[in-house]
Amino acid sequence: MKRVLVVHALSHLQRRTTIEFVSAFGRYAPDHVDVEHVNIRRPLTTTILGRRFDAVLLTYDLLALRSSTQWEWAMEKMAALCALGDRVIAFPQDDYTYHALLDESLEALSTDIIYTPIETGLHLVYPTMHRKAVIRHAHTGYVDEEAVYARRPRLIPLADRTIHVCQRVRMLPPWFGRAGREKGLFANRFAEIASERTGLVVDISTRDEDVLAGEDWYAFLGSSRATIGQRGGASLCDPDGAIMRTVIEFQEAHPGATFEEIEAACFLGLDSQAEMKAISPRLFDAAMLGTAQILIEDDYLGEFEPWVHYIPTDADVSNIDEIAVALDDTTLLEKLTTAASDALIFSGRYTYRAFVESVFADSVPTADHPSAVRPDVDAADEIQWRLSPDLFEGVQRVAHLAWMTQATETIATLVEDIATLLTDAPELIDHLDHRLLTALFGHSHLGRGIDAVGDPLVELMVEVFRAGAAQQVAQWLRAADSDRFVEWELLTWMDQDRVLLDDGLVR
């Protein structure tokens, strides 16, 4: 039995594709692999630290924290978790941003294998790790089989789709280099040229306010006959974020500056030392939704051919007349979309299942660890599933205030007294307040700064009792230290983790 620990940093802010990536290791793990997920913002307990794993996996949403102020404490937590594994495997994306810090951090974590979307320029991005680690290729996203079979029966026929060409593209900032701007420039150019064609309905935008996510994106893409695309990436490496900061300062001082002016002032001679491009997951999205693709002619997975799987064009959209004719030929579009679906979706080569199975087969050795029998979770583990995010936020604030005023023992006793009272007299659950509790138990002084919030405090703890978490909260209050209170203030992840658990995406 292989044992794998997946360390992530999911929150409710993450895109659906990121959630699918992180959860895929558990959802599609073979029977002989036992997978456990842990959020980096979850307190490290003996439940986790007392185990051994064949491999520890670091996901790209976690590694993206390198550009934030959270990286230092994240590294401390990752180091403790990586020490539990016989092998450390990293899955970075956007490797060219803060790449010196990424390279240095992966070395410090003794990373054995790096899965990256980048195919060229690895010696620039990983000056140390390209010599020390095994580097393997991974796409930025894959096909979610469950999503495919849920959506295919509900596809809108191509002839009934009201939009001819759609797309949403982010206009990347200058610190990604010229290559980073190509997708946005191409999108604007195509929209301008196509809009001049009478009868073509085009909905293409690079504006931030027009961004679509989740089901809104799928509904939008599935209502169009075709979408545009190309390989995306960057041509400028930013080792430690200095270029980004310089560009931002320059733009603030020179609003409206052109890319050429910014380049001359901020990174002259540094652009295009390497061109780092990758396949976008939107290639799979379009194939899944039966939407034809208009792509700048290029190498796509080594098997995607022009006029067989997609409509080819160039950066200048010089064949717009040919494209317009094709968009009115639904027979041709159906032929293209069927071929694309067969190659990308139904072949099974680009699914999360295939990717996960290959990772476990190629990169995770089997050591002589005991088979994974999950022990009972401790107080901190159990709290996160019993309380709603809003309720836990309230408990968290009380806990921090209690620690600051040296009243943790008093509050823990208060929680236990409320639980005892309501167990013996459940009819009081809708009437209990601070005054009644004081009369019954004598809690006349809870601690400096806490007496003033006596009524909402009791109300909060009554809700904790309703949720069945009173005992766990009392235990946690007595055991937690100041470091944990600080870390738990960051728990925007909690709502998302509950969704994942309820959906069976994380086990």
CATH number at residue 309: 3.40.50.2000
Question: Cα(41)–Cα(476) distance, rounded to whole angstroms?
Answer: 16
Domain boundary among 363, 395, 423: 363
What are the tens digits of pLDDT across the range 266-287? 999 988 877 777 888 899 999 9
pLDDT band (50, 70, 90) for residue 380: low
pLDDT on residue 13? 72
Same-domain status, 125 and 186 = no
Same-domain status, 38 and 97 = yes
Could you tell me the two tokens for 347? 């072949």
> Helices 320-327 and 177-195 meet at what angle, rounded to 10?
60
Q: For residue 366, give the amino acid letter.
A: T
Same-domain status, 387 and 308 = no
261 lies in a domain?
no
3-state secondary structure of 90: strand
Contact call for residues 425 and 389 (beta carbons, < 8 A): no
pLDDT on residue 220? 95
Taking CA atoms, 172 is separated from 14, 178, 207, 274, 430, in Å, by 19, 10, 11, 17, 54
Same-domain status, 63 and 132 = yes
Same-domain status, 187 and 335 = yes
Could you tell me the two tokens for 346? 């139904």
The pLDDT of residue 87 is above 90:
yes
* 141-155, 212-226, 332-346: least confidently modelled range: 141-155
Sequence-distant (≥ 6) Cβ neighbours of residue 429 within 8 angstroms: 422, 462, 465, 466
Number of other CB atoms surrounding residue 315 within 10 Å: 13
Same-domain status, 51 and 13 = yes
Of all helices (H) and strands (E), which one includes residue 410?
helix 408-424
Q: For residue 76, give the amino acid letter.
A: E
Same-domain status, 136 and 84 = yes
469 lies in a domain?
yes
Could you tell me the two tokens for 272? 């295009």
224 lies in a domain?
yes
Helices (H), 342-388: 352-363, 379-386
Question: Cα(85)–Cα(80) distance, rounded to whole angstroms?
Answer: 10
Same-domain status, 60 and 187 = no
pLDDT on residue 377? 41
Cross-strand partners of 277 = 233
Contact call for residues 6 and 16 (beta carbons, < 8 A): no
Domain that holds residue 89: 2-142+352-363
User: Within its chain, how far is the Cα of 196 from the centroid?
Assistant: 38
Sequence-distant (≥ 6) Cβ neighbours of residue 183 within 8 angstroms: 169, 170, 172, 229, 230, 232
Average pLDDT of span 190-210:
90
Contact call for residues 307 and 346 (beta carbons, < 8 A): no
372 lies in a domain?
no
Question: Cα(422)–Cα(471) distance, rounded to whole angstroms?
Answer: 13
Same-domain status, 33 and 179 = no
Mean pLDDT of the chain: 85
Sequence-distant (≥ 6) Cβ neighbours of residue 339 within 8 angstroms: 308, 309
pLDDT on residue 446? 62
80 lies in a domain?
yes
Domain boundary among 363, 388, 415: 363
SS3 letters across 455-486: HHHHHHHHHHHHCCCHHHHHHHHHHCCHHHHH
265 lies in a domain?
no
pLDDT on residue 226? 97
Same-domain status, 138 and 149 = no
pTM of the model: 0.69
Could you tell me the two tokens for 273? 């030392």
Same-domain status, 194 and 313 = yes
The pLDDT of residue 100 is above 50:
yes
Phi, psi of 69 (to 5 degrees): -75, -5
What are the tens digits of pLDDT across the range 184-198? 999 999 999 998 877
Tell me the chain's radius of gyration from C-alpha atoms.
27
The pLDDT of residue 439 is above 60:
yes
Question: Cα(182)–Cα(188) distance, rounded to whole angstroms?
Answer: 10
Total domains in the chain come to 3
* 63-77, 401-415, 485-499: least confidently modelled range: 485-499
Contact call for residues 87 and 113 (beta carbons, < 8 A): yes
Same-domain status, 37 and 138 = yes
pLDDT on residue 280? 85
Give which of 66, 56, 63 is closest to 25, Cα–Cα.
Answer: 56
What are the tens digits of pLDDT across the range 128-153? 999 999 999 999 889 988 888 888 88
Number of other CB atoms surrounding residue 192 within 10 Å: 12
3-state secondary structure of 184: helix
What are the tens digits of pLDDT across the range 32-75? 899 999 999 887 776 677 888 999 999 999 999 999 988 999 99
36 lies in a domain?
yes
Cross-strand partners of 73 = none
199 lies in a domain?
yes
Q: Specify the pairing of strand 276-278 against strand 232-234.
A: antiparallel
